[in-house]
A and B are shown apart, each in its own frame.
Chain A
Amino acid sequence: MAGLKENTYPGKLFIVEGIDGSGKSTQLDLLHKWLVSEGYLVVFTEWNSSPIVKSTTRRAKQRRMLSPMSFSLIHAADFASRLYMQVIPALQAGAIVLADRYVYTAFARDGVRGVDRGWLRQLYSFATQPTVSFYFDVPLDEAITRILEGRPALKYYEAGMDLGLSRNPSESFRLFQGLIKNEYDHLAEEYGLVRIDATKSLVSQQKLMRQMVRPYIADARRLEGIGIQDALKAHRLTGRYLGESDLLKEDA
Protein backbone atom coordinates (compact mmCIF):
# COMPACT_ATOMS: atom_id res chain seq x y z
CA MET A 1 0.00 0.00 0.00
CA ALA A 2 1.19 3.48 -0.88
CA GLY A 3 2.15 5.76 1.98
CA LEU A 4 2.36 9.54 1.98
CA LYS A 5 5.44 11.56 1.14
CA GLU A 6 7.77 12.38 3.99
CA ASN A 7 7.89 16.05 4.93
CA THR A 8 11.47 17.08 4.14
CA TYR A 9 10.72 20.82 4.44
CA PRO A 10 11.50 23.00 7.43
CA GLY A 11 7.81 23.81 8.04
CA LYS A 12 5.29 21.75 10.04
CA LEU A 13 1.90 20.45 9.01
CA PHE A 14 -0.94 19.85 11.44
CA ILE A 15 -4.25 18.54 10.23
CA VAL A 16 -7.65 17.77 11.74
CA GLU A 17 -10.12 15.09 10.73
CA GLY A 18 -13.48 13.89 11.99
CA ILE A 19 -17.11 13.63 10.98
CA ASP A 20 -19.25 16.75 10.60
CA GLY A 21 -20.13 18.10 14.02
CA SER A 22 -17.06 16.68 15.75
CA GLY A 23 -15.83 20.18 16.58
CA LYS A 24 -12.55 19.83 14.67
CA SER A 25 -12.83 23.21 12.91
CA THR A 26 -13.44 25.01 16.19
CA GLN A 27 -10.39 23.39 17.74
CA LEU A 28 -8.22 24.15 14.72
CA ASP A 29 -9.38 27.74 14.82
CA LEU A 30 -8.38 28.00 18.49
CA LEU A 31 -5.00 26.48 17.70
CA HIS A 32 -4.59 28.91 14.81
CA LYS A 33 -5.27 31.94 17.03
CA TRP A 34 -2.88 30.69 19.65
CA LEU A 35 -0.05 30.11 17.17
CA VAL A 36 -0.57 33.56 15.66
CA SER A 37 -0.54 35.15 19.10
CA GLU A 38 2.73 33.34 19.78
CA GLY A 39 4.11 35.08 16.71
CA TYR A 40 4.33 32.15 14.31
CA LEU A 41 3.89 32.36 10.57
CA VAL A 42 0.75 30.29 10.05
CA VAL A 43 -1.02 29.24 6.86
CA PHE A 44 -4.52 27.79 6.94
CA THR A 45 -6.11 25.64 4.25
CA GLU A 46 -9.40 23.83 4.09
CA TRP A 47 -10.95 21.02 2.08
CA ASN A 48 -12.48 21.84 -1.29
CA SER A 49 -11.44 25.47 -1.40
CA SER A 50 -9.02 25.88 -4.31
CA PRO A 51 -10.15 28.88 -6.35
CA ILE A 52 -9.25 27.11 -9.59
CA VAL A 53 -11.13 23.90 -8.99
CA LYS A 54 -13.98 25.22 -6.88
CA SER A 55 -16.14 26.60 -9.68
CA THR A 56 -16.14 23.26 -11.48
CA THR A 57 -17.04 21.40 -8.30
CA ARG A 58 -19.81 23.84 -7.41
CA ARG A 59 -21.35 23.65 -10.86
CA ALA A 60 -21.23 19.87 -10.88
CA LYS A 61 -22.73 19.68 -7.40
CA GLN A 62 -25.58 22.01 -8.27
CA ARG A 63 -26.43 19.85 -11.26
CA ARG A 64 -25.91 16.66 -9.29
CA MET A 65 -23.52 15.47 -11.96
CA LEU A 66 -21.02 13.87 -9.60
CA SER A 67 -20.75 10.11 -9.59
CA PRO A 68 -18.48 8.57 -6.90
CA MET A 69 -15.49 8.49 -9.25
CA SER A 70 -15.87 12.03 -10.54
CA PHE A 71 -16.48 13.19 -6.96
CA SER A 72 -13.23 11.52 -5.96
CA LEU A 73 -11.15 12.81 -8.90
CA ILE A 74 -12.33 16.41 -8.70
CA HIS A 75 -11.58 16.54 -4.97
CA ALA A 76 -8.12 15.12 -5.66
CA ALA A 77 -7.60 17.93 -8.18
CA ASP A 78 -8.63 20.45 -5.55
CA PHE A 79 -6.27 18.87 -3.05
CA ALA A 80 -3.33 18.81 -5.47
CA SER A 81 -3.90 22.43 -6.39
CA ARG A 82 -3.87 23.56 -2.75
CA LEU A 83 -0.89 21.34 -1.91
CA TYR A 84 1.30 22.80 -4.66
CA MET A 85 0.09 26.40 -4.54
CA GLN A 86 -0.35 26.83 -0.80
CA VAL A 87 0.89 24.08 1.47
CA ILE A 88 4.29 23.11 0.05
CA PRO A 89 5.54 26.68 -0.55
CA ALA A 90 4.56 27.50 3.04
CA LEU A 91 6.38 24.43 4.37
CA GLN A 92 9.42 25.34 2.30
CA ALA A 93 9.34 28.79 3.90
CA GLY A 94 9.33 27.19 7.34
CA ALA A 95 5.73 28.12 8.19
CA ILE A 96 3.21 26.16 10.24
CA VAL A 97 0.44 24.88 8.01
CA LEU A 98 -2.96 24.00 9.43
CA ALA A 99 -5.33 21.95 7.31
CA ASP A 100 -9.01 21.47 8.05
CA ARG A 101 -9.43 17.96 6.56
CA TYR A 102 -6.72 16.15 4.66
CA VAL A 103 -6.38 12.95 2.61
CA TYR A 104 -8.20 10.91 5.26
CA THR A 105 -11.41 12.74 4.40
CA ALA A 106 -11.11 11.43 0.84
CA PHE A 107 -10.23 7.94 2.06
CA ALA A 108 -13.31 7.90 4.31
CA ARG A 109 -15.88 9.56 2.04
CA ASP A 110 -14.83 7.99 -1.25
CA GLY A 111 -14.36 4.63 0.42
CA VAL A 112 -17.95 4.80 1.65
CA ARG A 113 -19.02 5.66 -1.89
CA GLY A 114 -17.49 2.40 -3.09
CA VAL A 115 -14.23 3.65 -4.59
CA ASP A 116 -11.42 1.10 -4.28
CA ARG A 117 -9.46 1.83 -1.11
CA GLY A 118 -6.08 0.79 -2.48
CA TRP A 119 -6.59 3.00 -5.52
CA LEU A 120 -7.46 5.97 -3.29
CA ARG A 121 -4.24 5.58 -1.33
CA GLN A 122 -2.26 5.43 -4.54
CA LEU A 123 -4.11 8.49 -5.88
CA TYR A 124 -3.12 10.57 -2.84
CA SER A 125 0.41 9.17 -2.51
CA PHE A 126 1.79 12.58 -3.58
CA ALA A 127 0.47 14.19 -0.39
CA THR A 128 2.92 15.36 2.27
CA GLN A 129 2.85 13.39 5.50
CA PRO A 130 1.44 15.58 8.30
CA THR A 131 3.57 16.26 11.37
CA VAL A 132 0.58 15.39 13.56
CA SER A 133 -2.92 14.33 12.47
CA PHE A 134 -5.75 14.84 14.95
CA TYR A 135 -8.90 12.74 14.75
CA PHE A 136 -11.84 14.19 16.64
CA ASP A 137 -13.80 11.21 17.84
CA VAL A 138 -17.39 11.91 18.78
CA PRO A 139 -20.41 9.62 19.26
CA LEU A 140 -22.61 9.70 16.17
CA ASP A 141 -25.72 10.93 17.99
CA GLU A 142 -23.96 13.87 19.51
CA ALA A 143 -22.48 14.96 16.16
CA ILE A 144 -25.83 14.64 14.41
CA THR A 145 -27.57 16.72 17.06
CA ARG A 146 -24.92 19.46 16.81
CA ILE A 147 -25.27 19.62 13.02
CA LEU A 148 -29.02 19.39 12.69
CA GLU A 149 -29.59 22.06 15.34
CA GLY A 150 -27.29 24.57 13.72
CA ARG A 151 -28.18 24.12 10.07
CA PRO A 152 -31.34 25.04 8.18
CA ALA A 153 -31.15 22.39 5.44
CA LEU A 154 -28.68 19.70 4.48
CA LYS A 155 -27.20 19.83 1.00
CA TYR A 156 -27.54 16.89 -1.40
CA TYR A 157 -23.98 15.57 -1.26
CA GLU A 158 -23.44 16.66 2.34
CA ALA A 159 -26.31 14.40 3.37
CA GLY A 160 -24.90 11.60 1.18
CA MET A 161 -28.16 11.54 -0.80
CA ASP A 162 -26.26 10.22 -3.84
CA LEU A 163 -25.71 6.93 -2.00
CA GLY A 164 -29.44 6.24 -1.96
CA LEU A 165 -29.40 5.23 1.72
CA SER A 166 -32.66 7.01 2.50
CA ARG A 167 -34.98 9.51 0.86
CA ASN A 168 -35.14 11.52 4.03
CA PRO A 169 -32.14 13.90 4.11
CA SER A 170 -31.73 13.76 7.91
CA GLU A 171 -31.91 9.99 7.95
CA SER A 172 -29.56 9.75 4.96
CA PHE A 173 -27.14 12.09 6.73
CA ARG A 174 -27.19 9.95 9.87
CA LEU A 175 -26.50 6.74 7.95
CA PHE A 176 -23.82 8.40 5.81
CA GLN A 177 -22.01 9.88 8.82
CA GLY A 178 -22.19 6.52 10.58
CA LEU A 179 -20.44 4.84 7.65
CA ILE A 180 -17.82 7.59 7.53
CA LYS A 181 -17.17 7.33 11.25
CA ASN A 182 -16.59 3.62 10.79
CA GLU A 183 -13.99 4.39 8.09
CA TYR A 184 -12.33 6.99 10.31
CA ASP A 185 -12.06 4.55 13.18
CA HIS A 186 -10.13 2.19 10.91
CA LEU A 187 -8.02 4.98 9.45
CA ALA A 188 -7.06 6.16 12.93
CA GLU A 189 -5.54 2.73 13.54
CA GLU A 190 -3.96 2.39 10.12
CA TYR A 191 -2.27 5.79 10.09
CA GLY A 192 -1.79 6.45 13.78
CA LEU A 193 -4.03 9.50 13.90
CA VAL A 194 -4.06 11.13 17.34
CA ARG A 195 -7.50 10.49 18.76
CA ILE A 196 -9.10 13.37 20.64
CA ASP A 197 -12.18 12.69 22.71
CA ALA A 198 -14.51 15.34 21.27
CA THR A 199 -17.01 14.97 24.11
CA LYS A 200 -14.50 16.56 26.51
CA SER A 201 -14.62 20.30 27.20
CA LEU A 202 -13.34 22.72 24.58
CA VAL A 203 -10.55 23.79 26.89
CA SER A 204 -9.25 20.33 27.68
CA GLN A 205 -9.28 19.35 24.01
CA GLN A 206 -7.35 22.49 23.13
CA LYS A 207 -4.84 21.86 25.91
CA LEU A 208 -4.16 18.43 24.55
CA MET A 209 -3.72 19.77 21.01
CA ARG A 210 -1.24 22.44 22.11
CA GLN A 211 0.66 19.89 24.14
CA MET A 212 0.97 17.67 21.06
CA VAL A 213 1.96 20.55 18.76
CA ARG A 214 4.46 22.33 21.02
CA PRO A 215 7.42 19.95 20.70
CA TYR A 216 7.51 20.41 16.92
CA ILE A 217 7.35 24.16 16.54
CA ALA A 218 10.37 25.53 18.39
CA ASP A 219 12.17 26.21 15.10
CA ALA A 220 9.17 27.27 13.05
CA ARG A 221 9.33 30.68 11.47
CA ARG A 222 8.08 33.64 13.47
CA LEU A 223 6.65 36.88 12.22
CA GLU A 224 7.86 39.25 14.96
CA GLY A 225 8.59 42.78 13.91
CA ILE A 226 7.31 42.57 10.37
CA GLY A 227 3.61 43.22 11.02
CA ILE A 228 1.97 46.59 10.48
CA GLN A 229 0.95 46.79 14.13
CA ASP A 230 4.57 46.39 15.21
CA ALA A 231 5.70 49.07 12.78
CA LEU A 232 3.02 51.48 14.04
CA LYS A 233 4.05 50.89 17.62
CA ALA A 234 7.74 51.31 16.92
CA HIS A 235 7.21 54.64 15.20
CA ARG A 236 4.48 55.87 17.53
CA LEU A 237 1.94 56.15 14.74
CA THR A 238 -1.79 55.52 14.90
CA GLY A 239 -2.47 54.11 11.47
CA ARG A 240 -5.22 56.62 10.72
CA TYR A 241 -5.20 56.03 6.96
CA LEU A 242 -4.47 52.33 7.04
CA GLY A 243 -7.99 51.78 8.28
CA GLU A 244 -9.27 52.64 4.82
CA SER A 245 -7.64 49.57 3.35
CA ASP A 246 -7.78 45.95 4.37
CA LEU A 247 -4.24 46.04 5.69
CA LEU A 248 -5.12 46.18 9.35
CA LYS A 249 -7.67 43.45 9.04
CA GLU A 250 -5.08 41.14 7.54
CA ASP A 251 -2.60 41.95 10.21
CA ALA A 252 -5.03 41.48 13.09
Chain B
Amino acid sequence: MSAPNFYGIRPPGVEAEPLPGRLLVLEGTDGVGRSTQIALLREWLEGRGYAVVHTGFNRSEMASRGILRAKRGNTLDPLTLNLFYATDFWDRLERHILPALRAGMIALVDRYIFTLIARAVLRGVPRNWIEEVYGFALIPDKILYLDIEVDQLLPRAIGTRGLDYWESGQDYLRNPDLFSNYVEYQGAMLAEYRRLASTYGFETIDASRPVGEVFASLQAGIEEVLQGMAPEEDAGLPPGAASEASGPTDSS
Protein backbone atom coordinates (compact mmCIF):
# COMPACT_ATOMS: atom_id res chain seq x y z
CA MET B 1 0.00 0.00 0.00
CA SER B 2 1.54 3.32 -1.01
CA ALA B 3 0.44 6.90 -1.60
CA PRO B 4 -1.48 7.36 -4.85
CA ASN B 5 0.74 8.11 -7.84
CA PHE B 6 -0.42 10.08 -10.85
CA TYR B 7 1.15 10.28 -14.29
CA GLY B 8 1.57 14.06 -14.15
CA ILE B 9 -0.22 15.97 -11.42
CA ARG B 10 -2.11 15.18 -8.25
CA PRO B 11 -5.59 16.60 -8.81
CA PRO B 12 -7.10 18.82 -6.12
CA GLY B 13 -9.35 16.91 -3.73
CA VAL B 14 -7.26 13.75 -3.80
CA GLU B 15 -5.37 13.33 -0.55
CA ALA B 16 -1.89 11.87 -0.42
CA GLU B 17 -3.12 9.08 1.86
CA PRO B 18 -2.52 5.52 0.62
CA LEU B 19 -5.24 3.67 -1.25
CA PRO B 20 -5.77 0.16 0.09
CA GLY B 21 -7.56 -1.09 -3.05
CA ARG B 22 -6.12 -2.16 -6.40
CA LEU B 23 -6.62 -0.58 -9.80
CA LEU B 24 -6.63 -3.16 -12.59
CA VAL B 25 -6.95 -1.93 -16.15
CA LEU B 26 -7.81 -4.01 -19.19
CA GLU B 27 -6.84 -2.39 -22.49
CA GLY B 28 -7.23 -3.54 -26.05
CA THR B 29 -8.95 -2.70 -29.28
CA ASP B 30 -12.60 -3.25 -30.17
CA GLY B 31 -13.64 -6.88 -30.45
CA VAL B 32 -10.49 -8.28 -28.86
CA GLY B 33 -12.56 -9.97 -26.13
CA ARG B 34 -12.33 -7.54 -23.22
CA SER B 35 -15.96 -7.88 -22.10
CA THR B 36 -15.74 -11.66 -21.92
CA GLN B 37 -12.53 -11.52 -19.91
CA ILE B 38 -13.91 -8.84 -17.58
CA ALA B 39 -16.93 -11.05 -16.87
CA LEU B 40 -14.69 -14.03 -16.08
CA LEU B 41 -12.36 -11.94 -13.93
CA ARG B 42 -15.18 -10.44 -11.88
CA GLU B 43 -16.56 -13.83 -11.07
CA TRP B 44 -13.13 -15.18 -10.21
CA LEU B 45 -12.21 -12.24 -7.98
CA GLU B 46 -15.54 -12.15 -6.21
CA GLY B 47 -15.36 -15.88 -5.69
CA ARG B 48 -12.11 -15.32 -3.86
CA GLY B 49 -13.80 -12.84 -1.57
CA TYR B 50 -12.74 -9.51 -3.10
CA ALA B 51 -15.16 -6.66 -3.55
CA VAL B 52 -15.02 -5.60 -7.20
CA VAL B 53 -16.18 -2.43 -8.92
CA HIS B 54 -16.38 -2.58 -12.68
CA THR B 55 -16.52 0.51 -14.87
CA GLY B 56 -16.23 1.30 -18.57
CA PHE B 57 -16.56 4.27 -20.93
CA ASN B 58 -19.40 6.75 -21.18
CA ARG B 59 -20.78 5.82 -17.81
CA SER B 60 -20.32 9.06 -15.95
CA GLU B 61 -23.30 11.16 -15.11
CA MET B 62 -21.63 14.35 -16.17
CA ALA B 63 -20.58 14.29 -19.77
CA SER B 64 -22.04 11.16 -21.33
CA ARG B 65 -25.16 12.88 -22.64
CA GLY B 66 -23.08 15.62 -24.16
CA ILE B 67 -20.79 13.05 -25.78
CA LEU B 68 -23.67 11.06 -27.24
CA ARG B 69 -25.27 14.23 -28.58
CA ALA B 70 -22.00 15.38 -30.06
CA LYS B 71 -21.24 12.02 -31.67
CA ARG B 72 -24.71 11.88 -33.16
CA GLY B 73 -24.47 15.37 -34.58
CA ASN B 74 -20.83 14.95 -35.56
CA THR B 75 -20.37 18.62 -34.78
CA LEU B 76 -17.26 18.74 -32.67
CA ASP B 77 -13.65 19.35 -33.60
CA PRO B 78 -11.27 16.67 -32.26
CA LEU B 79 -9.97 18.79 -29.38
CA THR B 80 -13.39 19.60 -28.00
CA LEU B 81 -14.56 16.00 -28.30
CA ASN B 82 -11.44 14.77 -26.55
CA LEU B 83 -11.82 17.30 -23.77
CA PHE B 84 -15.34 15.95 -23.32
CA TYR B 85 -13.90 12.45 -23.05
CA ALA B 86 -11.32 13.70 -20.56
CA THR B 87 -14.07 15.27 -18.45
CA ASP B 88 -16.02 12.05 -18.54
CA PHE B 89 -12.94 10.02 -17.65
CA TRP B 90 -12.08 12.26 -14.70
CA ASP B 91 -15.65 12.04 -13.47
CA ARG B 92 -15.47 8.24 -13.48
CA LEU B 93 -12.11 8.27 -11.77
CA GLU B 94 -13.38 10.62 -9.10
CA ARG B 95 -16.82 9.12 -8.53
CA HIS B 96 -16.36 5.39 -9.05
CA ILE B 97 -12.73 4.39 -9.08
CA LEU B 98 -11.13 6.45 -6.29
CA PRO B 99 -13.91 5.78 -3.73
CA ALA B 100 -13.66 2.05 -4.45
CA LEU B 101 -9.89 2.11 -3.98
CA ARG B 102 -10.24 4.07 -0.75
CA ALA B 103 -12.66 1.42 0.49
CA GLY B 104 -10.15 -1.33 -0.25
CA MET B 105 -11.97 -2.70 -3.26
CA ILE B 106 -10.66 -3.87 -6.61
CA ALA B 107 -11.51 -1.51 -9.46
CA LEU B 108 -11.66 -3.50 -12.65
CA VAL B 109 -11.61 -0.94 -15.45
CA ASP B 110 -12.54 -1.74 -19.02
CA ARG B 111 -10.26 0.65 -20.99
CA TYR B 112 -8.45 3.53 -19.35
CA ILE B 113 -6.74 6.65 -20.73
CA PHE B 114 -4.80 4.65 -23.33
CA THR B 115 -7.67 3.92 -25.67
CA LEU B 116 -8.64 7.60 -25.39
CA ILE B 117 -5.09 8.68 -26.22
CA ALA B 118 -4.82 6.26 -29.17
CA ARG B 119 -8.13 7.38 -30.67
CA ALA B 120 -7.21 11.04 -30.26
CA VAL B 121 -3.76 10.66 -31.81
CA LEU B 122 -5.22 8.88 -34.84
CA ARG B 123 -7.53 11.82 -35.39
CA GLY B 124 -4.73 14.34 -35.42
CA VAL B 125 -4.65 15.51 -31.81
CA PRO B 126 -1.02 16.25 -30.85
CA ARG B 127 0.33 13.28 -28.88
CA ASN B 128 2.23 15.30 -26.27
CA TRP B 129 -0.77 17.47 -25.58
CA ILE B 130 -3.24 14.65 -25.01
CA GLU B 131 -0.78 12.68 -22.87
CA GLU B 132 -0.16 15.78 -20.72
CA VAL B 133 -3.89 16.36 -20.35
CA TYR B 134 -4.29 12.84 -18.94
CA GLY B 135 -1.53 13.57 -16.45
CA PHE B 136 -4.31 13.67 -13.85
CA ALA B 137 -4.85 9.90 -14.21
CA LEU B 138 -3.97 7.59 -11.36
CA ILE B 139 -1.23 5.11 -12.27
CA PRO B 140 -2.85 1.64 -12.23
CA ASP B 141 -1.42 -1.25 -10.24
CA LYS B 142 -1.57 -3.29 -13.42
CA ILE B 143 -2.33 -2.59 -17.08
CA LEU B 144 -3.20 -5.76 -18.94
CA TYR B 145 -3.15 -5.29 -22.69
CA LEU B 146 -4.89 -7.76 -24.96
CA ASP B 147 -2.87 -7.79 -28.17
CA ILE B 148 -3.94 -9.21 -31.52
CA GLU B 149 -3.29 -8.82 -35.26
CA VAL B 150 -5.84 -7.24 -37.59
CA ASP B 151 -6.27 -10.42 -39.65
CA GLN B 152 -7.10 -12.32 -36.47
CA LEU B 153 -9.47 -9.60 -35.33
CA LEU B 154 -11.30 -9.32 -38.62
CA PRO B 155 -13.14 -12.70 -38.64
CA ARG B 156 -14.30 -12.06 -35.05
CA ALA B 157 -15.81 -8.72 -36.01
CA ILE B 158 -17.34 -9.97 -39.25
CA GLY B 159 -18.72 -13.10 -37.58
CA THR B 160 -20.39 -11.28 -34.70
CA ARG B 161 -21.52 -7.66 -34.82
CA GLY B 162 -20.18 -6.68 -38.20
CA LEU B 163 -17.99 -3.63 -38.81
CA ASP B 164 -18.92 -0.65 -36.68
CA TYR B 165 -18.85 2.99 -37.86
CA TRP B 166 -16.52 4.31 -35.12
CA GLU B 167 -14.45 1.15 -34.92
CA SER B 168 -13.65 1.59 -38.60
CA GLY B 169 -12.68 5.26 -38.33
CA GLN B 170 -15.48 6.16 -40.74
CA ASP B 171 -15.65 9.60 -39.12
CA TYR B 172 -12.30 10.64 -40.60
CA LEU B 173 -10.92 8.02 -42.97
CA ARG B 174 -11.60 8.46 -46.67
CA ASN B 175 -11.15 5.00 -48.19
CA PRO B 176 -13.89 4.05 -50.64
CA ASP B 177 -15.33 1.27 -48.45
CA LEU B 178 -15.95 0.22 -44.85
CA PHE B 179 -13.67 -2.82 -45.05
CA SER B 180 -10.62 -0.80 -46.12
CA ASN B 181 -11.32 1.79 -43.43
CA TYR B 182 -11.62 -0.94 -40.80
CA VAL B 183 -8.32 -2.54 -41.76
CA GLU B 184 -6.50 0.81 -41.82
CA TYR B 185 -8.06 2.06 -38.58
CA GLN B 186 -7.51 -1.09 -36.54
CA GLY B 187 -3.96 -1.42 -37.86
CA ALA B 188 -3.21 2.14 -36.75
CA MET B 189 -4.89 1.56 -33.36
CA LEU B 190 -2.79 -1.55 -32.73
CA ALA B 191 0.39 0.33 -33.64
CA GLU B 192 -0.56 3.08 -31.22
CA TYR B 193 -1.39 0.61 -28.41
CA ARG B 194 2.00 -1.07 -28.89
CA ARG B 195 3.77 2.26 -28.67
CA LEU B 196 1.86 3.06 -25.48
CA ALA B 197 2.61 -0.44 -24.15
CA SER B 198 6.32 0.29 -24.02
CA THR B 199 5.92 3.86 -22.73
CA TYR B 200 3.50 2.98 -19.93
CA GLY B 201 4.64 -0.54 -19.08
CA PHE B 202 1.67 -2.65 -20.14
CA GLU B 203 1.70 -6.38 -19.55
CA THR B 204 1.01 -7.63 -23.08
CA ILE B 205 -1.14 -10.73 -23.40
CA ASP B 206 -1.59 -12.58 -26.68
CA ALA B 207 -5.34 -12.46 -27.21
CA SER B 208 -5.34 -14.55 -30.37
CA ARG B 209 -5.40 -17.69 -28.20
CA PRO B 210 -8.54 -19.45 -26.87
CA VAL B 211 -10.55 -17.65 -24.17
CA GLY B 212 -9.43 -20.03 -21.42
CA GLU B 213 -5.75 -19.51 -22.12
CA VAL B 214 -6.08 -15.73 -22.23
CA PHE B 215 -7.98 -15.86 -18.94
CA ALA B 216 -5.22 -17.93 -17.33
CA SER B 217 -2.61 -15.35 -18.41
CA LEU B 218 -4.71 -12.53 -16.98
CA GLN B 219 -5.14 -14.41 -13.69
CA ALA B 220 -1.38 -14.88 -13.42
CA GLY B 221 -0.77 -11.19 -14.06
CA ILE B 222 -3.35 -10.11 -11.51
CA GLU B 223 -2.20 -12.57 -8.85
CA GLU B 224 1.02 -10.59 -8.39
CA VAL B 225 -0.69 -7.37 -7.42
CA LEU B 226 -3.20 -9.03 -5.10
CA GLN B 227 -0.43 -10.07 -2.76
CA GLY B 228 -0.59 -8.29 0.54
CA MET B 229 -4.23 -7.46 -0.05
CA ALA B 230 -6.67 -9.15 2.30
CA PRO B 231 -9.88 -10.49 0.76
CA GLU B 232 -13.08 -9.43 2.45
CA GLU B 233 -13.85 -12.93 3.73
CA ASP B 234 -13.71 -11.71 7.30
CA ALA B 235 -16.69 -9.52 6.63
CA GLY B 236 -18.66 -12.66 5.91
CA LEU B 237 -19.62 -11.65 2.41
CA PRO B 238 -20.85 -14.53 0.28
CA PRO B 239 -19.35 -14.64 -3.21
CA GLY B 240 -21.15 -12.24 -5.50
CA ALA B 241 -22.59 -10.12 -2.70
CA ALA B 242 -20.04 -7.43 -3.36
CA SER B 243 -21.39 -6.78 -6.80
CA GLU B 244 -24.42 -5.06 -5.30
CA ALA B 245 -22.14 -2.31 -4.15
CA SER B 246 -20.52 -1.91 -7.52
CA GLY B 247 -21.13 0.81 -10.06
CA PRO B 248 -23.36 0.65 -13.11
CA THR B 249 -22.81 -2.51 -15.09
CA ASP B 250 -24.87 -2.03 -18.21
CA SER B 251 -22.90 -2.30 -21.39
CA SER B 252 -23.22 0.47 -23.92
Contact = CB atoms under 8 A, between A and B. Distances in A.
A76 B83 CA distance: 7
A232 interface: no
A73 B9 contact: no
A126 B13 contact: no
A60 B84 CA distance: 13
Nearest to B12: A114
A126 B79 contact: yes
Contacts of B133: 122-123
A68 B129 contact: no
Interface in B52-105: 61-63, 65-66, 69-70, 75-77, 79-80, 83-84, 86-87, 90-91, 94
B12 A56 contact: no
Contacts of A7: none
A113 interface: yes
Interface in A105-154: 113-116, 118-119, 122-123, 125-126
A81 interface: yes
B47 to A, nearest CB: 35
B136 interface: yes
Please classify how large the interface on chain A is, using the bins under 10, 10 to 19, 20 to 34, 35 or more. Answer: 20 to 34
Given A53-B66, A116-B9, A70 B80 contact: no
- Contact size class for B? 20 to 34
A73 B11 contact: no
Given A73-B90, A119-B132, A122-B132, A113 B12 contact: yes
A85 interface: yes
A116 B63 CA distance: 22
B90 A68 contact: no
A215 to B, nearest CB: 32
Contacts of A65: 61-62, 91
Contacts of A59: 65
A202 interface: no
Contact of B62 (A60, A119, A123): A60
A73 B83 contact: yes
B117 to A, nearest CB: 15
A80 B129 contact: no
- The 4 residue pairs across chains A and B that have the minimum distance between CB atoms: A114-B12, A77-B83, A56-B66, A116-B9
Given A84-B77, A113-B12, A122-B133, 11 more contacts: A52-B70, A53-B80, A65-B62, A67-B12, A69-B90, A70-B90, A74-B62, A74-B83, A77-B80, A77-B83, A115-B9
